[in-house]
Structure 1
Amino acid sequence: MNDSPGWAVPGPSSSDGERPGAPDGRDGGEGSTQPSTGGQKWSAEQPPPGEWSSPGTPQAPPQRQPQPGAGWGSYGGSQGPQGAQSGQYGYPGGPGQWGKPPAAKPGVIPLRPLDLGEILDGAVATMRSHWRTVLPITLVVATVVQVISVLVQKYALSGLPVASDPKASLQDALDTLGGTMVVLLANGFVQLIGTIVAAAMLTMIFSRAVLGHGSTIGEAWREARPQLLRLLGLTLLLALGGVVILFALILPGIALSSIGLALLGGLAAIPLIVWLGIRFGLASPALMLEKSGVITSLRRSSRLVQGSWWRIFGITALTGLITAFVSAVIIWPLTAVGLAIGFSDGGVASLENGTATTGWAPLILSAIGAVIAQTITMPIQSGVTVLLYVDQRIRREALDLELARAAGLENYGPDATAPPTGG
């Protein structure tokens, strides 16, 4: 089954049909040696004419070869669409390498396989050059989420009975725990919806930034809206899968009333959940940009990540560390100031009864820090995910050729070395 459709660049819808000469999107995969000659059914949502040009006649271009003196290593691996070989691209510092060749750069990244620095730089460059679109989206979403969170903590959580009273009965403790869980789940669901909306719109903005095109907030919303329910379903499915794995591995310990066995099962679940999280980590941009379904996007992510798990894990983990550090630098000082204000108002008693953390001052200052942090880090995380997806498709499916045509670059292909353009 062919589950590798072409890159559906966001834009107004046009006819849904066979696109002459378009690559069939097959991964090339291990063992495949035949270039595509077309026949792929493209997404119904295509960009307007002139923004995504047709490859022309259904003819496979010649095999891409390293240019003399260009500095590219042997491609190796099997052929993907367009007749380009997938997998092994050269890199600076290898045997006989003289650095990277000139590459077309219509947008925020060069159209060739990317390294870590280029992926991070592309995410930051998009946020910097398209800040009028990116920052309002993340600022509004973060503000709405944090306002709801503050109200929940102030009026819901602080109103629950405190189970630390030594005279409290078991029923009181259970009521407190149940009420807390309900409130936290409701608050978490609101945050999930906000994060999904922001991530969907940012994905569309980054996809256009790769081609050097700008986006308005309205355009990003119109392009993302048809896929929002599917993205929600994908997110919930992945979360449910993690919960099922965790529960399945700790269940033997619970059944045998063995805390040690349950703890061991929980520890064993962590690497498995991380492995699956990375393997399906590119499902979100695949779902949004290829206009695919939930299951198809999961298969696409699995195929794109195959053979590159550790690389994607390293880039994802490093991005998480960077954004966590930035968030901590912003949030912790404001939180400390809020706690100091709460303590000064209530003294030691405020720490005992919890009012030092549920007063207006600590809640508002912590929320302000969270809004600032999320406004900055959310675009970086979304951008890295989208650019990892683009990078993997360039490596495996020669997507750079299709992106060059979509960006309107001429004389760009297997036998042409396009000079760097734009920034």
Structure 2
Amino acid sequence: MLSGAFSTIGGYWKPLIGLALALFGAATAVMGVGVAIAFSTVAANWDDLTGPGDPDMAQLVPMAIAFGVLMVIGVVTYLLASAVVQAAIPVVLQEAVLGRPIGFGTVWSRAWSRVWSVIGTVCLMGLILVVPILLITAAIVAVMVYATTLDDTDGVLVVAMFGLFGWLVIAPLAAWLWVKFSLAPTIVVFEGQRPVAALRRSSQLVRGSWWRVFGITLLAFGLASVVGYMIQMPIQALGSLPGTMDPFSSGTEPSGEELLVLLGGFMVLSMISGLASQLFSSVFPPLVVGLLYVDLRMRNENLAPVLAEAAARTLPEQYGPPPAGPA
């Protein structure tokens, strides 16, 4: 699975990395413009905010609202970009398993047509995971309220034991549900299913192969996290260089503009490193999950002959009809 994912990235890096770079780059640009506007607002009111006395609430409220709106816009933008990328990966994989090329425009149009179904599926998966966690958390809170009526020692012991038991129940249940429905976003694109039908289909395919799907998926996400950290680490270190040089060691107090420049530079480098890390972490794990989907269908539904037949039909289209042999 892992070697297949790397091979697919190597052979189809233009539509995969290109689309992800365009989407996450646009999201980062939107965030960058918002951060620039926010910093310009802070710089314009820096003397009033850092002057003697407490800052006026009338000055703080508009800034807090601006930063809140910026955060919401950033989250929505990145979620939409992630959804399009997650829908685009199965589109590329559909052609990759047949050995057919695919262009950027085709990937975009087909992915965008399924993006809202992917968002609905992911939200439904999150809701399924959250409901049992909320129920167990409510039970823990109820026990904590009951424990307050007991002696101090007994109450603390009851809360600790029940809290530990609750987490021991939540963690396996969440992992089981996550793996059970992990193929649903891929199914939405591959088979054109609606969210509920895709969840049922994922449960059907994973049945009997839960541990295998869990192990390979966990390894893919772990590898993506390690690679993402290795990408971010040197850029983050570069961003901390101005602080290690200590340009204000002369004893003079840095001005507000100088602090904003340093903070702004660090945030720009953080955005760049986050974008570079996001390119790999957003492509590699869903690609492995998509290959798992194809593999399970080959094992359980005899998909290999269908793919071979489809690939054979594409050969005349790409290379022309075979030469005529002897009668």
Equivalent runs, 1:56-135 vs 2, <5 Å:
119-135=1-17
* Secondary structure of 1:335's aligned partner: helix
Aligned partners of 2:242 and 2:262 also within 8 Å = no
Superposed CA deviations along residues 133-180 of structure 1, whole A, max 9, x for unmatched, are 222111112212333344556666996xx9xxxx99xxxxxx999997
8 Å Cα contact 1:196/1:231 also seen in 2: yes
Asked whether the 8 Å contact 1:342–1:362 carries over to 2, the reply is no
> Following superposition of structure 1 onto structure 2, how do residues 202-213 of structure 1 map, counting pairs within 5 Å?
202-213=89-100
User: Aligned equivalents of 2:247 and 2:268: distance in 1?
Assistant: 15
CA positional deviation for 1:314: 0.6
Structure 1 gap ranges (5+) = 1-118, 169-174, 411-423
Which aligned pairs between 1:20-59 and structure 2 lie closer than 5 A? none
- Letter of the 1:282 counterpart: L
Encode CA deviations 1:324-374: one digit per residue, 9 max, x unaligned.
111111102211221332563577999xxxx68981221111222222222
The equivalent residue for 2:132 is: 245
Shift, 1:378, TM fit:
2.6
TM score, norm. by length of structure 1: 0.58
- SS of the equivalent of 1:332 reads helix
Cα-to-partner distance string for 1:187-234 (whole Å, 9 max, x where unaligned): 322211101101111210111000000110111122222221111111
How far apart, in 2, do the equivalents of 1:302 and 1:179 lie? 43
| Contact 2:31–2:70 (CA under 8 A) maintained in structure 1 | no
Identity %: 28
Matches of residues 6-405 of structure 1 in structure 2 within 5 Å?
119-151=1-33, 184-255=71-142, 256-257=144-145, 260=160, 261=162, 265-266=166-167, 268-342=169-243, 344=246, 359-405=263-309
- Give secondary structure in 1 for the equivalent of 2:268: helix
- Measured in 2, the distance between the counterparts of 1:267 and 1:179 equals 41
How large is the RMSD of aligned CA atoms in angstroms?
3.9
Query: For the structure 1 residues 265 and 148, does the alpha-carbon distance in structure 2 shift closer, same or farther, using more than 3 Å as the test?
Result: farther
Which AA in structure 2 matches 1:365? L
* Contact 1:148–1:187 (CA under 8 A) maintained in structure 2: yes
- Structure 1 residues 229 and 293, CA, compared in 2 at 3 Å: closer, same or farther? same
CA contact (8 A) 2:235 2:269 kept: yes
In the alignment, residue 123 of structure 1 is paired with which amino acid? A
After superposition, the Cα gap between the structure-2 partners of 1:293 and 1:358, relative to the gap in structure 1 and judged at 3 Å, is farther
TM-score (norm 2): 0.74
Q: Secondary structure at the match of 1:211?
A: coil
Number of residue equivalences: 286
Instruction: Give the unaligned 5+ runs of structure 2.
Output: 43-48, 56-61, 148-158, 315-327
Counterpart secondary structure, 1:408? helix
Counterpart Cα distance in 2 of 1:252 and 1:184: 33
Equivalent AA in structure 1 for residue 209 of structure 2: S
In the aligned structure 2, how far is the partner of 1:177 from the partner of 1:279? 41
CA distance in 2, matches of 1:298, 1:188: 25
